Amino acid sequence: MFSNILIYFVVIPLLMLAGLALCKNIKQIRAVAVVGSLALTALSVYLLVDFLALRAAGDTAPMLYLGSWEWFGPLNINLSVGVDGISIAMLLLSSIIVFAGSFASWTIDQPKEFFLWLILLSTGVFGFFISIDLFTMFMFYEVALIPMYLLIGVWGSGRKEYSAMKLTLMLMGGSAFLMLGLIGIYYHSAPVGAERTWDLLEIARNGSISTGWQYFLFPMTFVGFGVLGAMFPFHTWSPDGHASAPTAVSMLHAGVLMKLGGYGCFRVAIYLMPEAAHDLAWIFLVLTGISVVYGAFSACVQTDLKYINAYSSVSHCGLVLFAILMLNTTAMTGAIMQMLSHGLMTALFFALIGQIYGRTHTRDITKMGGLMQIMPYLSVCYVIAGMASLGLPGLSGFVAEMTIFVGSFAHTDMFHRVFTVLACCSIVITAVYILRVVGKLLFGPVQDEHHRQLTDATWWERVSTVTLIVCVAAIGCFPNFFANLIRATFTPEIFTVLGLN
C-alpha cells in the first residue's frame, strides 16, 4: 500500500495532525505547518515531473499510479487511487495554497485548534483529488466540508455564526443529492448480473447506465457538486461564507474547495453520464451563465472587499462550470486552467484583504483610500491580483478565459453563441469592479489619517503573496506547459465515452 506515491498525499496531512497534537507552543505549530505543506508541495512537484516523464515515455493510460485496496468487500468498496493531468494540476494547486495559507495564518489565535481543522480540511481535499472510487471520493469530500463550520464559526468575523451555519447546511444539502446520485450510479454501474463497482474507470468502461437513469442521476450529481462550485441559484452560501471566514480559510475555500465542485462535475457527472450531459447541458448552461453575469454585476455594487471577491468568485467559478458544459477539448482545457488561475489569484486576493484588514480593521472601501502611499508592497500585489482577475495578458486569467471562449465559440448554434457572448461580457464587468476598487482603495486620497501610521507587509506575509504571484505569472507566461499537461488527459478514450469530437 505504501509503495504507491499517491497515498502520501493523505499520509502527510495525517502525520501533520499527529505532529500538531504533540506541539507545545506556536513555534512548533508553525514548523509543523510549514514543513508539512512544503513536503506536500515537493511531493506534488515530483509527481508532476514523474508524470510528464511517464507520458513522454508513451504511457497513454487514462490514469496513472493506479492502486486499489479492498475496504468494504461486501459492497465492493475499495480505496482506489489514480491521477491524470487534471488531478495533478489540482494537487499542485492545493499544496501551494496550503503552503501560502500557513504563512497567512502566522499569528492566529488558538493556533493548535486552527491548524488542526485546517489540516483536516486539506486531508479531505487531497484525498478527494487522488480518489477514483466514488465512495472514498465522497467521504473525503465531506471530510473537507465539515471543518469549515468550526473554522468560520470560531475564527471568523462579522456574522460568523450565521454564515458558518448557512455554508455548512447548504454544502451538506448539496452532498445529500450527491450521495443519492452516487448510490444510484453504483446500482447501475455494471450490466445486470455482473458485479457492481464504485470504481470510476470501470463504470465508465462498462457504460451501463441507461439513458433514462442518466437523466435522473446526472442532475443529482451535477447539482450536488455544483453547489460547491457556486452555481446559481445555490451560490448564496459563498459570499457570506467567504466574508466571515478568517484569511487562510477564505484562501483555501475559494482557492481549493470550490474547485472540488468543478472537478467533481467533470469527473463524475459528465465523465460517467455523457449522454445526459449532452442532452441536459443547456439547463445548466443557463444557470451557470447567470452565475457568471450575475456574480460580476453583484461584485460591482459591494463595498466590502471580501464580498467583492466572493461575488467575483461566483462569477469565475461559474465560468468553470460553463466551460465544462461546452463539452469540447478546448473549453474543458480552459475550464481546468481557469480553476488553477482562479484558485491562485483568489487566494492571493484573500490573503491581501486579510493583511489589509489586519491593519486597518475595516474592509469597507468607502472608509479607506490611498493605501498605495502607505503600504506600497501590499498595494502593488493587489494591483497584480486585480490584473490577473480582469484578464491581463501575461497573467493567468487571460490564458484561461481566452481558451474558454475560443472553445465555447466552436459551437455554431445560436443558443451557445448567445450564451458565450453573454459570458464574455463578464470580462468587461470584471474590469469595472476591479478598477473601481483599485482606484478607490489604492490611488484615491487617504480617507483616514490614522492609516498613515500603518506598516507594510511582514516577511511571512511576503512569503505567502510572493508564492502566489509567482504561480499566477507562471501560468500566464507558460500556458502551453499547463495546457499540454491537462490536454493529455482528454485522451481519445474519454471522448469516445463522451461521444463528441
Residue 176 interacting with another protein (CB under 8 A)? yes
Give backbone dihedrals phi and psi of 158, rounded to 5 degrees, phi first.
70, -140
CB of 410 to another protein, least distance (A): 37
Q: Which of 450, 316, 313, 305 is nearest to 379 (CA)?
A: 305
Q: Which three cell numbers stand for residue 219?
A: 442532475
Q: Does 212 bind another protein (CB under 8 A)?
A: no
Residue 281 to residues 29, 323, 413: CA-CA distances in angstroms?
46, 11, 14
Q: Which stretch binds another protein (CB under 8 A): 70-78, 199-207, 231-239, 432-440?
A: 70-78
> Residue 173 burial by CB count (10 A; 0-12/13-18/19+): exposed, middle or buried?
middle
By C-beta, is 170 or 339 nearer to another protein?
A: 170
- Which one of 83, 97, 119, 164 is in contact with another protein (CB under 8 A)? 164
Q: How far is the CB of 353 from another protein (least distance, A)?
A: 23
Query: CA torsion 439→442→446→447, rounded to 10°?
Result: 70
Residue 281 C-beta: closest distance to another protein, Å: 23
Q: How far apart are CA 480 and CA 486, in angstroms?
A: 10
Tell me how far, at minimum, the Cβ of 180 lies from another protein, in Å. 5
Torsion of CA 130, 131, 132, 136, to 10 degrees: 180
* Residue 52 contacts another protein per CB under 8 A: no
Question: Which residue number, 244 or 333, has a Cβ lying nearer to another protein?
Answer: 244
Which of these segments, 68-76, 329-337, 343-351, 491-499, binds another protein (CB under 8 A)?
Answer: 68-76
Least Å distance, CB 314 to another protein, is 22
- Determine contact, residues 126/148, Cβ cutoff 8 Å: no
The yes or no reply on residue 146 touching another protein (CB under 8 A) is yes
Tell whether residue 302 is a contact of another protein (CB under 8 A): no
Among 9, 51, 177, 237, binds another protein (CB under 8 A): 177
Which is nearest to 41 in space by CA: 110, 103, 112?
A: 103
Number of residues that bind another protein (CB under 8 A): 32
Cell triple for residue 49? 515531473
Instruction: With H, G, I as helix, E, B as strand and everything else as coil, classify residue 329.
Output: helix
Yes or no: say if 268 and 221 are a contact pair by the CB < 8 Å rule: yes
Measured from the Cβ of residue 113, the count of other Cβ atoms closer than 10 Å reads 15
Q: Does 470 bind another protein (CB under 8 A)?
A: no
Burial of 9 (0-12, 13-18, 19+ CB in 10 A): buried
- Pick from 86, 97, 76, 127: which is nearest to 33 by CA? 97
* 180 touching another protein, by CB under 8 A: yes
Per the CB < 8 A criterion, the answer to whether 217 and 276 are in contact is yes
Verify binding: residue 15, another protein, rule CB under 8 A. no
The residue whose grid cell reads 498613515 is: 452
- Using CB under 8 A as the binding rule, whether residue 168 contacts another protein is answered as yes
Asked if residue 207 binds another protein (CB under 8 A), the reply is no
> 126, 128, 129, 186: which one contacts another protein (CB under 8 A)?
186
- Candidates 144-152, 391-399, 467-475, 487-495 — which segment interacts with another protein by CB under 8 A? 144-152
Nearest-approach distance from CB 149 to another protein, in angstroms: 6
User: Which residue from 18, 49, 59, 72 is in contact with another protein, where contact means CB under 8 A?
Assistant: 72
Query: Of 34 and 165, which has the nearer Cβ to another protein?
Result: 165
Helix (H, G, I), strand (E, B) or coil at 157: coil
Cell numbers 492566529 label which residue? 108
487 vs 472: CA distance, rounded Å = 19
**In sequence order, what are the beta bridge partners of 199?**
133
Tell me if the bond preceding 233 is cis, omega within 30° of 0: yes
Phi-psi category of 188—alpha, beta or left, where left has phi over 0 and alpha has psi -120 to 50?
alpha
17 interacts with another protein by CB under 8 A: no
Residue 75 touches another protein, criterion: CB under 8 A: yes
Among residues 50, 142, 304, 456, the one that binds another protein under rule CB under 8 A = 142
Which part of the chain contacts another protein (CB under 8 A), choosing from 143-151, 230-238, 272-280, 381-389? 143-151
User: Which one among 184, 207, 358, 444 touches another protein, defined by CB under 8 A?
Assistant: 184
Does 14 engage in binding with another protein (CB under 8 A)?
A: no
Contact segment (CB under 8 A) with another protein among 52-60, 147-155, 267-275, 296-304 equals 147-155
| Among residues 11, 35, 54, 183, the one that binds another protein under rule CB under 8 A | 183
What is the closest distance, in whole angstroms, from the C-beta atom of residue 175 to another protein in the complex? 9
- Name which of residues 215 to 254 contact another protein (CB under 8 A): 216
> 341, 441, 440: which is closest to 393 by C-alpha?
341
Of the CA atoms within 13 Å of residue 440, those in its CB half-sphere come to: 17
Q: Which of 169, 194, 421, 428 touches another protein (CB under 8 A)? A: 169
Would you say 234 or 433 has its CB closer to another protein? 234
Cell numbers at residue 26, please? 506556536
Residues at the interface with another protein (CB under 8 A): 71-75, 135, 139-140, 142-143, 146, 149-150, 153-154, 160-161, 164-165, 168-169, 172-173, 176-177, 179-180, 183-184, 186-187, 216
